[in-house]
Amino acid sequence: MSMRTVVFAELAPVEAYTLLATLVVPRPIALVSSLGADGVANLAPFSFFMLGGANPPSLVISPTLSSKGIEKDTLRNIRETGEYVINLVHREIAVGMNEASAPLPPEESEWERAGLTPIPSAQVRPARVEESSVQFECRLFQIVEHGQGPNAARYIIGEVLVAHVAENVVPPVARLGGKGYLDLADGSTFELGRPNA
């Protein structure tokens, strides 16, 4: 096999991001609902998302620092309040999920823009997404800060308190590289361009 060898020390953060996000696929998508300390409801998707363990049941997301090295609202909200909901995403709500990724200022909520419906959670204050067929209510365990500056990782390890699971769970969509997505319901792929503010 003919191989290309990439030395990460020679890459800019944006190049490292593009390479890693293109190679490590498919990734599940966590649509995260959180609340600011001031009560503003936030909704944002994260595909740096994995199952941590089952005892205690845990999930990990990484809202990285932005390309300008700034903390995202989700990270700040979870650090300040310790609570959030991870909603899984299927094809029907993929466009709304993508709209929720618009870089809105902290005082503006993404719920309306996404066209999704907040409903009360059982054990945490942030709402869950009614249209999502799997919703995990989570409590913060630990935030691991790895690096500083553009795209530095911020691992949010959370304990799952409650799962709400639809009788007929719809298979989720997964993130591929660039604009690409994979629909696990039928194996088809589709593209969504990122929205502007």
Q: How far is CA 138 from CA 102, 129, 182, in A?
A: 23, 14, 26
The total number of residues written for the chain in this structure: 197
Distance CA 66, CA 149 (A): 8
Residue 145's Cβ-side half-sphere holds a number of Cα atoms within 13 Å equal to 11
Select 187 or 193, whichever has its Cβ closest to ligand FMN: 193
Give me the least distance between CB of 96 and ligand FMN, in Å please. 11
Q: Which is nearer to ligand FMN, 69 or 167 (CB)?
A: 69
Determine if 73 is a binding residue for ligand FMN (CB under 6 A): yes
**Contact residue for ligand FMN among 98, 132, 133, 135 (CB under 6 A):** 98
Our finding on whether 29 is near ligand FMN (CB under 6 A) is: yes
Which phi and psi (to 5°) does residue 173 adopt? -95, 155
Which CB atom, from 135 or from 151, has the smaller least distance to ligand FMN? 151
Q: Which residues contact 55 (CB under 8 A, 6 or more apart)?
A: none
**Residue numbers of the site for ligand FMN (CB under 6 A)?**
29, 42, 44-48, 62-64, 72-74, 98, 101, 103, 175
